[in-house]
Chain A
Amino acid sequence: MTLPAAIDKSTWDRSLPRWWVAAAVVRRDYLITRSYRLPFVLDAFYGLLELAVYFFISRTLRGAVSADLGGAPNYFAFAAIGIAVSVVVAAAASGLARQLREEQLTGTLEVLVAHPLTTAETCLGLAGFPLLFAVGRAFVYLNVAAVWMDLDLSRISWPGLILILVVTGTSLSILGILSGAIVLVLKRGEILAGMLLVAMTVLCGSVFPISSLPGWLEPFGKVLPLRFAFDGVRAALFRGEGWETDFFVLLGFSVFGLAVAIAIFDRALRVSRRTGSLGQY
């Protein structure tokens, strides 16, 4: 089917996103999240609970773990990084799709799209708050683990940790934007993103080393972007060096992948306009 002349030109404005427009979407999401006070607190508490579980598992298995822990001094230190990074990864990979689905269900998606914000601003804005909130949570978890659970941060490279977390967020946002595109067209695409995310975290050594995987699965785990995130964060935290390669690999994923993902999202928006499904859920 060919598009009629009225919408034949892409609605994708290729100019650089205006930060204050994306920031307005981020601020809106913050205000909405804050308005649900108890879930806001429980959400943060959930991660601490998970941290405690691995703390006690680690004490139980003290001395029993022989796999390569990527420089981590013990299994708890290894798993704590996995948990902290997984929080960022989950937000990056599914935050946008979840926000978009909520817009569909509350009926605000059509009015949002009718306003003059570009596709890139829409994506950045919708992905922004979940990602920033997750990075904040990751820092809180690491500090709690350091203060109360003997996580040794004496060799940490703070610039390395921040840079790795930022590129982890942006590179995994590719998956988030793609699942957002699926949500636009099929409505329930976040399930697919969730499946991919679980598969990736299992394969990439979040809470157990890649060397523990069956031999035929190891190569998959080694090339997925998430593996570079875990390796980079552990290098920045436990060695204070050696994170640079992981950073540049993730940066490469981000630069190339984000442009492609935003173009696909723009395409999904046009399909929704054609099918008239922007106001549906």
Chain B
Amino acid sequence: MSLDPCEPLLRVEDLSRNFGVHQVLVNVDLVLGRGDRVAICGPNGAGKTTILRCIAGTLAPTNGRIDVCGYPAGSIQSRRLTGISFSQERSFYLRLSGRDNLLFFAQLRGLKRRQAIEQVRAIEQELELQEILRQRVDRCSTGMVQQLALARALLDSPALLLLDEPTRSLDDHATARLWAALESRSTSGLLISTHRADDVARCHRQIHLGS
């Protein structure tokens, strides 16, 4: 897919989302360019995950507009351009190994099996996931599943990464590997929700929700 270099990676205009009468997001604006790293901060319930779900296209905005490289959020083109890591506890097939899970999600991104195997092997080396990929996911700890979720988000080198509290439950080494992987993808845009000051410090700017 060819991308217009002048088009921002992500444009969020006047985004609002209500759940019943409860307004979670009100008139949020955001523009993200290539290589931008933005942290979303705020207390629990401020709408950090909601904004990521709206951009990923699994939740429709009540009002407003979201484009990923000019494509409406939720369209197949925007989903192709986006890598996601959401709440990890329930987003993998627990009866399958880490490797089978990653191969499956790589193929959902349109990769043929041989390409998927190569991609998974490269990410396995980069993030040092050998042990995690061998095991069935229901035998992995929360931190191991969290690392698997980052690996899934990085498959097929998406232009935009949406990570929901990716460093939660990670030890120091895994956190270092995560940031090394993100920083090596210097042209990808990153939107990360986090409560951790050291994550925020690695981003170029932050937006605070719920204030």
Contacts and interface: CB of A to CB of B under 8 A. Distances in A.
Q: Which 5 A-B pairs have the closest CB atoms?
A: A107-B90, A24-B107, A116-B79, A116-B80, A115-B108
B89 interface: yes
Contact of B91 (A20, A107, A116): A107
A108 B94 CA distance: 10
From DSSP, what is the main secondary structure of chain A's interface residues? helix
A18 B110 contact: yes
B58 A279 contact: yes
B79 A7 contact: no
Contact of A4 (B65, B76, B82, B109): B65
Interface stretch (A28-36, A40-48, A131-139, A238-246): A28-36
B73 A6 contact: yes
Specify which of A4, A5, A8, A116 lies most central, judged by the most chain B CB atoms within 10 Å of its CB: A116
B202 to A, nearest CB: 25
A218 interface: no
**For this complex, into which size category does the number of interface residues on chain A fall?**
35 or more
Contact of B108 (A5, A21, A32, A279): A21
A6 B64 contact: yes
Interface string B64-80: 11110000111111011
Contacts of B79: 114-116
Interface of B: 19, 53, 56-67, 72-77, 79-80, 82, 84, 86, 89-96, 100, 103-105, 107-110, 112-113
Nearest to A29: B93
A6 B67 contact: yes
Interface string A154-179: 00000000000000000000000000
Contacts of A4: 60-65
A9 B67 CA distance: 12
Contacts of A279: 53, 58
A107 B105 contact: no
B58 A28 contact: no
A108 B89 contact: no
B211 to A, nearest CB: 23
B61 A7 contact: yes
A254 B99 CA distance: 36
A118 interface: yes
A6 B53 CA distance: 13
A28 B90 contact: no
Given A21-B110, A31-B100, A274-B60, A111 B75 contact: no
A273 B96 contact: no
A108 B104 CA distance: 13
A278 B64 contact: no
Given A4-B65, A7-B72, 9 more contacts: A4-B64, A8-B72, A20-B113, A23-B107, A32-B93, A110-B58, A114-B79, A273-B59, A276-B53
A6 B61 contact: yes
A106 B108 contact: no
A28 B110 CA distance: 15
Contacts of B75: 9, 11
A1 to B, nearest CB: 9
B108 A110 contact: no
Interface in A201-225: none
A117 interface: yes
Contacts of B60: 3-4, 6-7, 270, 273-274, 276
Nearest to A10: B75
Contacts of A27: 104
A13 interface: yes
B88 to A, nearest CB: 10
